[in-house]
Structure 1
Amino acid sequence: MTNNTDYRISDIMTCAISNMLQDNETVFHGVSSHLPMVAMKLAKSMHAPDLVHLNIPGGVNPGSIQHSSYSSAGAELLGTGEAYFPLQEVFDLSMRGKLDVAFLGGIQFDINGNVNASVIGNYHKPKVRLPGGAGSAVLIPTAKKAIIWRTKHDKRTFVEKVDFTTTRGNLWRIVTPLCVFEFRHGKLHLESIHPTSSLEEVQENTGFELIYDKLKYTSLPTKQELQMLKKIDPHDYRSIEF
């Protein structure tokens, strides 16, 4: 019998994100977004063949992601694409309510759905100055569903109150190495715990009191999903952030 600890966190997160995506959705990922990029390719290969894959270089439905460079913004994503759709058009698409899903990042999150990607500490004299809003400030408020992934889950990431609000609200899901959060009724709710974790571990690593209706566990990757991941991501880009 296979133990839950035999499953890699990167595979659990990739498959969980893939299963959030639906056929015929238009989905965008940005730079340094290997895990969602692989999840999008997995969804197209398994259950969502007509999902539309948009990315930073502008390639629509790239034929391959196997050599898409360390940044997930390589020329292959454009060169093997079916069409060209530049970044400014992605922003316009989202503001017109036509972008179904956008994958975005952040450094701090609080229970009210505030996202910090700007500074750690005081804004005028920060301990760390971060990249800032960039696409998040536009896409989180305007995309139909904003999914954030984060490869660290600790009390410095999930805080009682963010140091600076880069953007807020309109989140859909946050996927971490421990769990999945759902944003509803203005609060982050614990949607599911990964079978490799526990409620106690999630709470110990979260800076606010967890809200949940019923304890659920994230589905483990299937044999078919794992086989497809080896095929579409032989260089294991999905694990590059861990």
Structure 2
Amino acid sequence: MAYINNTNLSNQNYRASDILVCAMARLINNEETVFHGVSSHMPMLAVMLAKALHAPDAVHLNIPGGVNPKPAALQKYTSAGSELLDHASAYFPLAEVFDLSMRGKLDVAFLSGIQFDVNGNVNASVIGDYHRPKVRMPGGAGSAVLIPTAKRAIIWRTKHDKRTFVDKVDFVTTRGNIDRIITPLCIFKFENGKLVLDTIHPMSSLEEVIENTSFKVEYSKVEYTAPPTQQELTLLRRLDPKDYRNIEF
């Protein structure tokens, strides 16, 4: 991950979705095996971007089972469509992804959730009491297996507020090898059993992160996420001409 000490926002030509995708892409190393699920346009683009720039030998796994799919660009409103199987290098079904992860061979899993607390607990199940919830959500699905077993779980969330980053999650769906949580404001890393601030995005500030986080924000030094480069932005527009990376905002 690249860091900067500060940045001039007057020339900013990127959005939160752009910096999230670029931040995720930079966390992918060459030759790593990387998986993303459904409704995962930004992680899917992050894998494609990383393979185009610094990680050409990363292995891209997905829900349809296409290994290293080769779509010229995203043309459909999906991150789990048949185009990820068409012209792929091989077929690796979802059940095998879970087995791969449980054998300790899945390097990175991109996942999400609704609530997170400082102890790295992830809630994707209910808001409120489990038996009489205000909102019942889909639940852990693959996350309950992949977050504890993947070598690194990288989580993204397009909302950063006190209802998302809470003192204590309403329900612990899963927890485990959380490497980073990337939001529109910052990146948290999991260190010594706690979420701590890694970097702040240049369009945000330490004050804004603190104001929108229920638990105490711990940090050793204020660092800023490096903004997307012109090369990254040019490739993103080529890979995603219909701007699907921005649909969650």
Shorter-normalised TM range: over 0.9
Unaligned runs of 5+ in 2: 1-7
1:50 aligns with 2:57: yes
Distance 1:2 1:133, change over 3 A: closer
8 Å CA contact 1:59–1:83 kept in 2: the answer is yes
Partner of 1:188: 195
SS at match of 2:20: helix
C-alpha distance in 2, partners of 1:117/1:211? 24
List aligned pairs for 1:90-129, cutoff 5 A. Answer: 90-129=97-136
What SS class does the counterpart of residue 188 from structure 2 fall into? strand
Tell me the TM-score normalized by structure 2.
0.95
The residue aligned with 2:217 is 210
1:41 aligns with 2:48: yes
Q: Can you give the 5+ residue segments of structure 1 that lack an aligned partner in the other structure?
A: none
Residues 13-28 of structure 1: pairs in structure 2 closer than 5 A: 13-28=20-35
> Kindly tell me: are residues 157 and 65 of structure 1, through their superposed partners in 2, closer, same or farther at Cα, counting changes over 3 Å?
farther
Which letter does structure 2 place at the counterpart of 1:184?
E
Q: Deviations over 1:207-231 (max 9, x none)?
A: 1110101100000001111111111
Identity of counterpart residues, as a percentage? 69
Q: Matched residue pairs, number? A: 242
**Matched residue of 1:3: which SS?**
helix
Is the 1:117–1:166 contact (alpha carbons within 8 Å) kept by the matching residues of 2?
yes
Query: What TM-score does the superposition give when structure 1 sets the normalisation length?
Result: 0.97
Contact 1:147/1:173, CA 8 A, preserved across alignment: yes
Cα distance per residue 1:92-139 (max 9 Å; x no partner): 000000000000110000000000000000000000000001011000
Q: Does 1:225 align with 2:232?
A: yes
Distance between the aligned counterparts of 2:136 and 2:42, measured in 1?
24
Partner of 1:142: 149
CA distance in 2, matches of 1:24, 1:229: 21
CA distance in 2, matches of 1:5, 1:207: 29
What RMSD over aligned residues (CA atoms) do the two structures have, in Å? 1.2
- Once the two structures are TM-superposed, the CA of residue 2 in structure 1 deviates from its matched residue by 6.1
Which stretch of the first structure deviates more once superposed, 227-236 or 120-129? 227-236
Deviations along 1:172-211, one digit per CA (max 9) or x if unpaired, are 1000000000001000010000000000000110011101
Q: Which residue of 1 aligns with 2:169?
A: 162
Query: 1:10 aligns to what?
Result: 17
